[in-house]
Structure 1
Amino acid sequence: MSVLSFSLWLSASLPGALVTAALLTQPAEQAKWQLNSDPFYCQLQQQVRGLGQVSFALEPGQPLRLNLALAQPHSALQQVSVMARPADWQSSQPVAAQQYVAELYQDSEVSFLQAALPLLHQLQQGAWLQFDLGDAQQQLVLTSVRAADAVDKFQGCVAQMSPLSWQQARDTEIYFASGKRQVDRQQLPGLQKLARYLQLDNSIKKILIDGHTDDVGTPLANRVLSQERADEVASRLIELGVKASMLEIRAHGNRYPLLPAQGKAEQSNRRVSIRLIRTTS
């Protein structure tokens, strides 16, 4: 798409927008940030009518992203940059301006990783965002109204977000020192995060807790030790609010090693595995 055709397209798609050559400035009356949220996703977005949307998005276990998504494919999305600029009512830039180049490109969408957090902070201070779309010298100036309130709501969503994603939570390993059956204090934060995830994900129907040992000792002693380790982890989860009825506890002794120990106390085998089972849709 040429600069001229891009400008004509914007003019036709955005009645009332200020379009000069290849410059689009979002009208202030349309500069509204909307929050879409649930325990596993926070998105602060602004629609640019006829063009697409700009959004800040965060998921558990993923970095914060600033996304620019156009409603239709655009050839200029090859090297896109963004920077903060002072709003028209500001006498000076609230924070020193820096230009960032998008790290991820996919079809008609680009994502900024390094820029997302500093630009979110500058947005909260009243700055606008300016996107430069490739070598075609096409620009989008994204104005903002009541951005501080919008960012506060977004940060509130982030504070309530699950500390883990499904990929992180579905398989958890708790490791034990040789002969030990108590959960180490350093591993408690991981169990706390898992318990919090379980409070938020209503699709979990069962939690499998499997105790294991290395191959040092007799089979009977290892079976008892693996049972004690599994019971310990289950007790910790129940203390953290997980329903006991969801837990299925199994003791395997040294029958299923992750690594062949061959008579050695292999730490990888001294573990309790926690696996989450979801309901099928």
Structure 2
Amino acid sequence: MRQRYLALLSVFASLPAVAITFQTRLESIEWKVEGDKFECRLTQPITDFGAGEFVRRAGEQATFRIKASGGMLGSGSATLLAAAAPWQPGRGDVNLGAVRVNNSTIPFNSSQGQAGGLLAGLMEGRSPVIRHHGQGGSVMEIRLLPVRFAKAFSDYQACTAKLLPKNYEQVKQAQIGFPGKDADLDAHARAQLQVIADFLKADPTVNHIELDGHSDNSGNRLTNRDMSRRRALAVMDFFTAQGVPEKQITMRFHGERYPLAPNTNAANRSRNRRVTVQLDRLPPDDKAPSVVAAGSAAATS
């Protein structure tokens, strides 16, 4: 395939401007929808090139990328267009801006805004076009066609409706606040923890949770330490009630030792009353104990 592309370049090398377009024949156009709770993909294969693909991860909006089977684009810049169809007289192309491309199997990923513009264009009968200007004035275009898009987009939306609220990068670290001076989980904290618990149920490879309880400096050292323990324990109890094995949870408590902000006013003290949650993927033989006493090496790290 790459040899065919190089041959095309050599044929047209003597011309002042060469335009090579990759697109699938109209009668062969197909859209594929694949996905799970973590990611949905809407893909159109492109003959002799690869594919154009919209990808939406849990907790994010879609981006657009192309898959190149032979590293055909090279490095540089390309323009994304929502191009008007020939049967749409009077409608100009919509320029969605530039992307940096490289010589790899996935030359670029668009921004979320650019992908949204391409999807909106497809609903209007426009074609996503990647236009790359090469050496000697040559131009390469990769074009997707809107044929049979409406049904595929409906299936894609059905897939995205089942995505988790957040992805791993968004849930692997969290701070659970305690606006009050007690160790009770409020509605906001429970909602945060429920999102994490739902992710743990969907992805069993995430098999370890580290909880670190903290307090402000409103009490003495011993009472602050105990309050931080009670807060970490409240979070631990929430997870175990959701079916998380206790052996997968490490709990530490630090009292007032690690404030996020100086304990100089009520707002800062509220920020410091918290439990931090850290998710990890550990090998089966590398799981930490469920509770680590404050003051040990692990607790003070």
TM normalised by structure 2 equals 0.72
Query: What whole-Å deviation, never above 9, does each CA across 1:195-217 have from its counterpart, x for those lacking one?
Result: 22122111122333332212331
CA contact (8 A) 2:261 2:271 kept: no
1:276 is aligned to: 279
Q: Which residues of 2 match residues 94-173 of structure 1 at below 5 A?
A: 97-108=93-104, 109-113=107-111, 114-134=113-133, 136-173=138-175
Would you say 1:252 and 2:267 are equivalent positions? no
Q: Output the CA distance in 1 between the equivalents of 2:73 and 2:101.
A: 12
When residues 153 and 254 of structure 1 are mapped into structure 2, their CA distance, relative to the original with a 3 A threshold, is same
Cα offset, 1:55, TM superposition: 0.8
Query: What whole-Å deviation, never above 9, does each CA across 1:167-191 have from its counterpart, x for those lacking one?
Result: 2222211122362322343444322
Query: What whole-Å deviation, never above 9, does each CA across 1:78-97 have from its counterpart, x for those lacking one?
Result: 23123223456x5568x874
Query: What whole-Å deviation, never above 9, does each CA across 1:139-173 have from its counterpart, x for those lacking one?
Result: 23322432112112222222222222222222211
Q: Secondary structure at the match of 1:99?
A: strand
2:291 is aligned to: none
Q: Secondary structure at the match of 1:79?
A: strand
1:182 is aligned to: 184
Would you say 1:45 and 2:47 are equivalent positions? no
Cα offset, 1:270, TM superposition: 1.9
Q: Output the CA distance in 1 between the equivalents of 2:186 and 2:249.
A: 22
Cα offset, 1:25, TM superposition: 3.7
Q: Output the CA distance in 2 between the equivalents of 1:8 and 1:45.
A: 26
**Structure 1 vs Structure 2: percent identity of aligned residues?**
22
Q: Output the CA distance in 1 between the equivalents of 2:217 and 2:191.
A: 29
Q: Output the CA distance in 2 between the equivalents of 1:237 and 1:64.
A: 31
When residues 77 and 192 of structure 1 are mapped into structure 2, their CA distance, relative to the original with a 3 A threshold, is same
Q: Secondary structure at the match of 1:130?
A: strand
Q: Output the CA distance in 2 between the equivalents of 1:172 and 1:69.
A: 34
CA contact (8 A) 1:211 1:251 kept: yes
CA RMSD of aligned residues (A): 3.5
Cα offset, 1:48, TM superposition: 1.4
Cα offset, 1:65, TM superposition: 1.3
CA contact (8 A) 1:225 1:253 kept: no
Q: Secondary structure at the match of 1:102?
A: strand
1:228 is aligned to: 230
When residues 177 and 144 of structure 1 are mapped into structure 2, their CA distance, relative to the original with a 3 A threshold, is closer
TM normalised by structure 1 equals 0.77
Q: Aligned pair count?
A: 267
Letter paired with 1:167: E
Q: Output the CA distance in 2 between the equivalents of 1:222 and 1:205.
A: 30
CA contact (8 A) 2:236 2:251 kept: no
CA contact (8 A) 2:82 2:96 kept: no
Cα offset, 1:259, TM superposition: 5.1
Letter paired with 2:8: L
CA contact (8 A) 1:175 1:272 kept: yes
Q: Output the CA distance in 2 between the equivalents of 1:103 and 1:85.
A: 16
Q: Output the CA distance in 1 between the equivalents of 2:143 and 2:128.
A: 6
Letter paired with 1:83: L
Q: Secondary structure at the match of 2:170?
A: helix
Q: Output the CA distance in 1 between the equivalents of 2:59 and 2:275.
A: 23
When residues 185 and 97 of structure 1 are mapped into structure 2, their CA distance, relative to the original with a 3 A threshold, is farther
Q: Output the CA distance in 2 between the equivalents of 1:228 and 1:77.
A: 56
Among 67, 70, 82, the residue aligned to 1:69: 67
Q: Output the CA distance in 1 between the equivalents of 2:109 and 2:262.
A: 46
2:296 is aligned to: none
Cα offset, 1:116, TM superposition: 0.4
Q: Which runs of 5+ in 2 are unaligned?
A: 12-17, 285-301
CA contact (8 A) 1:259 1:268 kept: yes
